[in-house]
Structure 1
Amino acid sequence: MPIASFKPEAFESQWIDSNSALADVCQQWLSEPYLAVDTEFVRTTTFYPKAGLIQVTSSQGDFLIDPLAISDWQPLKDVFLHPLVVKVFHACAEDLEVCQRLVGCVPEPLADSQHAAALVGKGASMGFQRLVADVLNIDLPKGETRSNWLERPLRPEQIQYAVADVHYLYRIYPKLVQQLKTLGRESWLAEDCQRMVDQANTPESLSGYFRRVKLAWKLRSQELFVLQQLAAWREQQARERDVPRNKVIDDASMWNIARFKVKNRDQLIRSGMKPASVKADGGDILKLVSQALELDKSHWPKQLDRPLGPEAGQWLKELKVVINGQAETLELPAEILVRKKPLEALLRSAFPHGNGELPELLCGWRQEIIGERLLQKLQQLAAAD
């Protein structure tokens, strides 16, 4: 069947730009079995996303909520937390951040259509345009992706683009649910989406951000402690100033400062910091480094794990053979079955003795489907050595 062309004139949406109008529609939404939800935001020069629009489709139609005109978000918060109303997003990570920042909660129960599509065998990380074409046979343009959603009034093209996302998502969701039921995987989606909610509700502590810095594993414990303090300071400053992290200081500069334990402004510049940044923040950074170096080793974090060596790498290849075989049998993307971090965590827990422990991300439905198979393989590998 040929793909149908997109017809924006078919959409009629209701614009919600007052607290009373939002309260009225939210009262209706409390009786819906599910809602399709999306957000549009701007995040080019800020740390936090600036919400420009919230789109919702229910059985009653398509709605556009103007966050620039709303001050009372409690009615929408009640909807977002209602246990009988499923909130359906597509690739929801940033949307959850917008909702948490604007409305004050992470929506749950949650269903992510991108993840649902992967669980029914449509491939990992499928974009919404491809999903609409695959499920509804409609060619959806994406020309407004980088629009300024904070401008008013919004252009007709922006409005039609925004409405299309939730209008079609609302139609796609029950089709995906039916496929999941047929495959016996509906509970898989619920479990994985609940994990997304839990993760969004449990942000990383400031002291943990140093682990994100590339090559942090190369630093010794005291140097790693300096990096930990720098990364925590940067995180706090980025939030207070509402700017991207690298506008405060970039990863490479932090790594160099920690590695070489800089002591003056010239060394800060040689580490990679821009002169303007050194002028603005150099004093604070030098003080932070000096204080970190004065503390004894009881404060130092453990050195991070080094990359897996060749022998462990061979075990990893053997595990991937098991994963790929099971993924092929189930017609699932291998990366949905087992992602890189939990796989490496499992291997590190077992190598070289074979007595591994399943990480949390390989428990639940994955334990029976693939986790136990991987543990058995690890035991075989250890016995063969």
Structure 2
Amino acid sequence: MQYQLIQTQNQLNVFVEHIRNKPILAIDTEFMRRRTLYPEVALIQVYDGEHLALIDPLAELSLFDFWQVLRDPAVLKVLHSPSEDIEVFQKYAGFVPAPLFDSQFALQLLGNGNCMGFAHMVKNLLDIEIDKSESRTNWLQRPLTIKQFDYAAADVFYLLPCFKIIIEQINDAGFFDIVINESELIAQKRAYQTPDEHLYRDIKNAWQLKPADLAVLRELAAWRRNKAIRKNLALNFVLKEHCLVELAKRKPTSLTTMRNVPEVDSIEVNRSGVEILKCIEKAKVIPVADFPEPLRRLIDFPSYKKVAKEIKQKITAVAKKQAIPEDVFASKKQINQLISWNWKLTSAEREQTPKPDLLNSWRYEYLKDTLKEWDV
């Protein structure tokens, strides 16, 4: 396995010329995400079947021409389980490479089980054992070791021959457009940002709170994400989720009383206490008429289990007819997403929220007649 480490502009320019008109590129990224909200890209691996490069984004490089290659609709970009790679590209390139072929999803679509890891795929398709001991390495350190470079290069070196095996089966089954469309759906979902005023609904145990508490939680949840974005900190490094709920319940009026709130430690009070108090005070002056409605879990709806079972049965019938694994069509989470969309959101709120997966993308083409009563 031969590869090139690219750390100068001239090296990158030459490599871009080599790959510019290649129809298929295997791509991977290495990144770190320990305390940050956004992934910190540390390496970009690219292989066209002839030239394999490890691009160092920490070097002073203009990636403009390279990004143009990834934008080219005539170039198929192959990645394995690209959800987080998509976020890397959204953050650092400002777009998601397309068309994008996810080899992990393609295997799932072919009935090879959920979430097959890269090493398992290589062993299964190529009968080659690869070393994954560097998977938790610090990719931002410099210099990287030869072992780290070898590990990173292998991720695309073996991806391309795996793809060639998978694509034959995908084309025979007529599933190519489904694979491409699924990656587009992931990109759409990664790009969506829940409005500030709705963030509180996704906080665990928020359903236990009263409307006055939810008004506080709404302010705190919006503040937490905005601070996370501003500081590039993971949400729980701003304030842990369960602390939000305790603060909303108890509504401390001073830093001293805040320190007595269970689960809230002194470090969090020292770091963010004043801001938290401002959120609580802001919520206290909100008119009762503007308090959020109590949150209901799906299980609180009397007909939920019956309806969920009926939807699942309908989807199972379509899945069998189309020879597509049922769990690819719809997970329990996706069925719940559909029901929540209809039962929990107002028409105005639906305007601000992406459609459920089952009413979107390739799934909708197969299910639109079966689920037409849910397409509100």
Measured in 2, the distance between the counterparts of 1:157 and 1:187 equals: 37
* Aligned: 1:18 with 2:1: no
* Percent of matched pairs sharing the same residue: 32
Report if aligned partners of 2:87, 2:190 keep a CA contact under 8 Å in 1.
yes
Report if aligned partners of 2:182, 2:362 keep a CA contact under 8 Å in 1.
no
Which shows bigger deviation, 298-307 or 250-259? 298-307
Question: What CA deviation, in whole Å up to 9, does each residue of 1:334-370 have, x standing for no partner?
Answer: 332113343124345778xxxxx9x541234323544
1:64-75 maps to which residues of 2 (within 5 A)? 64-75=54-65
Measured in 2, the distance between the counterparts of 1:135 and 1:294 equals: 62
* Aligned: 1:289 with 2:280: yes
Corresponding residue SS for 1:87: strand
Measured in 2, the distance between the counterparts of 1:23 and 1:246 equals: 40
Aligned partner (choices 320, 328, 335) of residue 312 of structure 2: 320
Paired AA for residue 138 in structure 2:
N
Measured in 2, the distance between the counterparts of 1:291 and 1:347 equals: 33
Residue 154 (structure 1) shift: 1.5
Question: What CA deviation, in whole Å up to 9, does each residue of 1:47-94 have, x standing for no partner?
Answer: 222222111111332110011113312112212211111221111111
Paired AA for residue 297 in structure 2:
R
Gaps of 5+ in 2: 344-349
1:220-259 maps to which residues of 2 (within 5 A)? 220-259=210-249
Corresponding residue SS for 1:257: helix
Report if aligned partners of 2:43, 2:55 keep a CA contact under 8 Å in 1.
yes
* Aligned: 1:142 with 2:132: yes
How many residues are matched? 362
CA RMSD in angstroms, aligned pairs only: 2.6
Report if aligned partners of 2:212, 2:288 keep a CA contact under 8 Å in 1.
yes
Measured in 1, the distance between the counterparts of 2:159 and 2:331 equals: 26
Measured in 1, the distance between the counterparts of 2:279 and 2:252 equals: 11
Distance verdict in 2 for CA 1:131–1:327, change over 3 Å? farther
* Aligned: 1:110 with 2:127: no
TM-score normalised according to structure 2 size? 0.87
* Aligned: 1:346 with 2:346: no
Residue 169 (structure 1) shift: 1.0
* Aligned: 1:130 with 2:120: yes
Distance verdict in 2 for CA 1:221–1:86, change over 3 Å? farther
Report if aligned partners of 2:52, 2:153 keep a CA contact under 8 Å in 1.
yes
Measured in 1, the distance between the counterparts of 2:191 and 2:107 equals: 24
1:188-199 maps to which residues of 2 (within 5 A)? 188-199=178-189
* Aligned: 1:307 with 2:298: yes
2:346 matched residue in structure 1 = none
1:280 matched residue in structure 2 = 271
Corresponding residue SS for 1:230: helix
Gaps of 5+ in 1: 1-10, 352-356, 379-385
Measured in 1, the distance between the counterparts of 2:179 and 2:12 equals: 30
2:347 matched residue in structure 1 = none
Corresponding residue SS for 1:263: coil
Measured in 2, the distance between the counterparts of 1:190 and 1:239 equals: 30
Distance verdict in 2 for CA 1:176–1:267, change over 3 Å? farther
Measured in 2, the distance between the counterparts of 1:227 and 1:267 equals: 18
TM-score normalised according to structure 1 size? 0.85
Measured in 2, the distance between the counterparts of 1:185 and 1:113 equals: 12
Corresponding residue SS for 1:272: coil
Question: What CA deviation, in whole Å up to 9, does each residue of 1:283-338 have, x standing for no partner?
Answer: 11111110122122565444433232454213323433444565566564433211
2:32 matched residue in structure 1 = 42
Corresponding residue SS for 2:297: coil
Distance verdict in 2 for CA 1:300–1:90, change over 3 Å? farther
1:367 matched residue in structure 2 = 364
Measured in 1, the distance between the counterparts of 2:205 and 2:363 equals: 31
Corresponding residue SS for 2:4: strand
Distance verdict in 2 for CA 1:346–1:284, change over 3 Å? closer
Paired AA for residue 338 in structure 1:
A
Distance verdict in 2 for CA 1:12–1:242, change over 3 Å? same
Measured in 2, the distance between the counterparts of 1:279 and 1:349 equals: 39
Measured in 2, the distance between the counterparts of 1:128 and 1:319 equals: 33
Measured in 2, the distance between the counterparts of 1:92 and 1:130 equals: 16
